[in-house]
Structure 1
Amino acid sequence: MSPAPFVTTEWLAANLHSSSIALVDASWYMPAAKRDPAGEFLQSHLPGAVFFDIDGVADKTSDLPHMLPTPEDFARMVGALGIGSDQTIVVYDESGLFSAPRALWTFRTMGARDVRILEGGGAKWRAEGRPLESGEPQIEPRVFTPHFHPENVRSIAQMRDNLETRARKVLDARPAGRFAGTEPEPRAGIRSGHIPGSGNVPVGLLTENGLLKPASDLQALFAERGVELSQPITTSCGSGITASTLALALEVAGAKDVSVYDGSWTEWGGDASTLVEK
């Protein structure tokens, strides 16, 4: 079983300067937000953090956004960031809880032994008046030894097979209108609708403060949506970001077999040969 996925700001403050901790800012925003997370990181970030570029630590040969790189490429890129596979990797984002789960899932999929998310993210740290830094961090490269976990990720071929077998329940985290095909997709050339047979869990995972809801609340939410936590589940969204948040929520609620469809709707909806339901 994976270790508890969150650490508190108090815990991080007490362990901030430990060499056994790798602190990672994985902030990412939708293209429409027109924000520069790397530039914002240089202006201000948590002490000792390095910036993990979700779009950069990715498969550069794919036209799809931020697809998983090969384990070897991932190891090379994060090792250059000073992140070692023997460290406790603490990930945060500046939205509270938006893109950090994608980084958590990526590190876990690549075999990191211990990955956590800073509860409340950079927003909570800043609200508590804790120290910050600016500028480029001082990085000493480390060795990241990958151990790829293919069970964590699903390809389009596996998703096509699942249409026949229905061995896995597919849950889509996109807004209800996009799932139903009544609202257009934000990316040009992508059809509206959803993967046949999939369910929709677009809201309700976070508290008003941007924290993941307690396990009991999440269990109730999934029960309302007809999700059986004992069944194998694959999550999807627009491009694999919020699918990772949904996967994290399922894990906290008690699901044991959860994977992420890496290409998500950008791949499925952009492929004219796939079946689409509305």
Structure 2
Amino acid sequence: MEFPLVTTPWLEANINNQQLVLIDVSMSKVVGKKAIEYDRPLFIPNSQHIDLETSLCDLTSTQVHAFPVAEQFTRQAQRLGIDAESIVVFYDNQGMYSAPRAWWIFQAMGCKNSFVLDGGLPQWLSEKRAVVSGLSVDEPVPGQMNGKLQSDFICDSNYIMDKRAGGQLTLIDARSKERFLGLAPEPRAGVRSGHIPGALNLPFPEVLNGHCFKSPEQLSEIFLNLAGSNNTRLVFSCGSGITACITLLAAVVAGYSYSQLILYDGSWSDWGSNSVLPVER
């Protein structure tokens, strides 16, 4: 299993590698942390951009931030020039926010040679590495990547209701403690406060050290203390499936295998808006 992160020194050394496809996946709206604001656009050289909320979302779904369908993913991957041999690296301008979501989508669609830049643009800037004010203007040669969704990478509320009854999963919620406990209102209208019964709370900033992930040893200890050493599958949730991917990626860094992890796509925006589903506070 490939380690899922690349470092800023590695990226700088490989910035002109013809196999590298470097993608900025920054989002305009940041929830759950104080947003880093910029007075002008800044990018790592040779970057392309993809919009997680449109190009990599199934906009025909009623679900917030629904996973893209395979055909949609394939169009976008080929547009970016991605082939089977490509080294795909994602980053965002918040350090560690939306890049893990893009990485999990690509992993789920079969693009295994995809990675996240640890620390993202803020870490790159803090080390005074070169930046540019615009995206790459070179139109890439269309790629040949074909996506196929591996269904065990994501789940829905029915899966959770079925598996939690038998103690077959451990649900980890990446929202803040206040939202988890129902002490703070949800940002989306019509969504109840609280959490899925039995869920454990791991706010996503707790797996980070500054802009980067904590060490594999530190993360392993966090997950061991939180979930214990049982062999149940870890299901990751948040507000709408974005920041859950940060804690999911942290689990991979800690040494969990992909087969042990699954994303509840839709997360609390899906569960909390369905009055039939139980809520705990």
Gaps of 5+ in 2: none
Aligned to 1:269: 272
SS of the equivalent of 2:107 reads: helix
Q: Percent identity among equivalent residues?
A: 35
User: Match of 2:207, as an amino acid?
Assistant: L
Q: Is the 8 A contact 1:229 1:250 kept in 2?
A: no
Q: Give the C-alpha shift of residue 133 in structure 1.
A: 2.4
Q: Give the C-alpha shift of residue 160 in structure 1.
A: 2.3
Aligned to 1:204: 206
Residue correspondence of structure 1 range 120-199 to structure 2 within 5 A: 120-137=119-136, 138-140=138-140, 141-199=142-200
Mean CA deviation greater in 76-85 or 117-126: 76-85
Aligned to 1:63: 62
**Count of matched residue pairs:** 274
Aligned to 1:258: 261
Q: Give the C-alpha shift of residue 17 in structure 1.
A: 1.3
Aligned to 2:222: 221
Aligned to 2:3: 4
Return the structure number with greater relative CO, CA threshold 8 A, min gap 6: 2
* Alpha-carbon distance in structure 1 between the residues aligned to 2:42 and 2:109: 28
- Give the 3 Å change call, closer, same or farther, for CA 200–29 of structure 1 in structure 2: farther
Superposition TM-score, scaled by structure 1 size? 0.90
Residue correspondence of structure 1 range 239-258 to structure 2 within 5 A: 239-256=240-257, 257-258=260-261
* Alpha-carbon distance in structure 1 between the residues aligned to 2:173 and 2:34: 25
User: Match of 2:9, as an amino acid?
Assistant: E
The two structures, once aligned, show a CA RMSD in angstroms of 2.4
SS of the equivalent of 2:278 reads: coil
* Alpha-carbon distance in structure 2 between the residues aligned to 1:15 and 1:229: 40
SS of the equivalent of 2:213 reads: coil
Q: Is the 8 A contact 1:64 1:263 kept in 2?
A: yes
- Give the 3 Å change call, closer, same or farther, for CA 193–117 of structure 1 in structure 2: same
SS of the equivalent of 1:117 reads: strand
Q: Is the 8 A contact 1:86 1:112 kept in 2?
A: no
SS of the equivalent of 1:187 reads: coil
* Alpha-carbon distance in structure 1 between the residues aligned to 2:135 and 2:213: 31
User: Match of 1:10, as an amino acid?
Assistant: P
SS of the equivalent of 1:259 reads: strand
Q: Is the 8 A contact 1:230 1:255 kept in 2?
A: no
- Give the 3 Å change call, closer, same or farther, for CA 100–204 of structure 1 in structure 2: same
SS of the equivalent of 1:23 reads: strand
Q: Give the C-alpha shift of residue 99 in structure 1.
A: 1.2
Q: Is the 8 A contact 2:14 2:20 kept in 1?
A: yes
Q: Give the C-alpha shift of residue 229 in structure 1.
A: 6.2
Q: Give the C-alpha shift of residue 29 in structure 1.
A: 4.7
User: Match of 1:43, as an amino acid?
Assistant: P
Q: Give the C-alpha shift of residue 273 in structure 1.
A: 1.5
User: Match of 1:105, as an amino acid?
Assistant: W
- Give the 3 Å change call, closer, same or farther, for CA 95–136 of structure 1 in structure 2: closer
Q: Is the 8 A contact 2:123 2:211 kept in 1?
A: no
Q: Give the C-alpha shift of residue 136 in structure 1.
A: 4.5
SS of the equivalent of 2:272 reads: helix
Aligned to 1:113: 112
Aligned to 1:46: 44
User: Match of 1:167, as an amino acid?
Assistant: Q
